[in-house]
Amino acid sequence: MSYRIPCSPVVSETEEKKSRFICWLGPVEDRAAFLQQLEAVRNQYPDASHHCTALVIGNPSNPDVMISDDDGEPGGSAGRPMLELLLKQEVGNVGAIVTRYFGGTKLGVGGLMRAYRGAVGAALQVAELRPFIASIDVSVSCDFAQEARLRFLVGQVGGLCKEATYSSGVSVTLSLPADRWPELKAQLQAEGFGLSDEQD
pLDDT in tens, 64-88: 999 999 999 999 999 999 999 999 9
Determine the distance from the C-alpha atom of residue 71 to the mean position of all C-alpha atoms in its chain, rounded to a whole number: 23
pLDDT exceeds cutoff 80 at 180 = yes
Q: Could you give the angle at the alpha carbon of 102 between the alpha carbons of 100 and 105, nearest 5°?
A: 135
How far apart are alpha carbons 200 and 197 in whole angstroms?
A: 10
Instruction: Tell me which of 24 and 200 has the higher pLDDT.
Output: 24
Alpha helices by DSSP H, 127-180: 147-156
pLDDT exceeds cutoff 70 at 200 = no
Task: With CA atoms as reference, report the closest residue to 157 among 134, 132, 175.
Answer: 175
Helix 181-190 to helix 147-156 angle (10° resolution) is 150
How far apart are alpha carbons 16 and 1 in whole angstroms?
A: 35
pLDDT in tens, 15-71: 999 999 999 999 998 999 999 999 999 999 999 999 999 999 999 988 999 999 999
Mean pLDDT computed over 115-142: 91
Res. 196 pLDDT band, cuts 50 70 90? low
Mean pLDDT computed over 92-110: 94
- The reported pLDDT for the residue numbered 75 is 92
**Burial of 24 by CB count in 10 Å (0-12 exposed, 13-18 middle, 19+ buried)?**
buried
Instruction: Give the single-character DSSP code of 108.
Output: H
- Rounded to two decimals, the pTM is 0.73
pLDDT in tens, 130-172: 888 778 888 998 889 899 999 999 888 888 888 889 988 899 9
Mean pLDDT computed over 116-134: 92
CA-CA-CA-CA torsion sign (71, 15, 125, 22): negative
| Structural domains of the chain ordered from first start | 4-131 (3.30.230.30), 135-199 (3.30.70.240)
How far apart are alpha carbons 21 and 26 in whole angstroms?
A: 16
Phi and psi, residue 163, nearest 5°: -155, 140
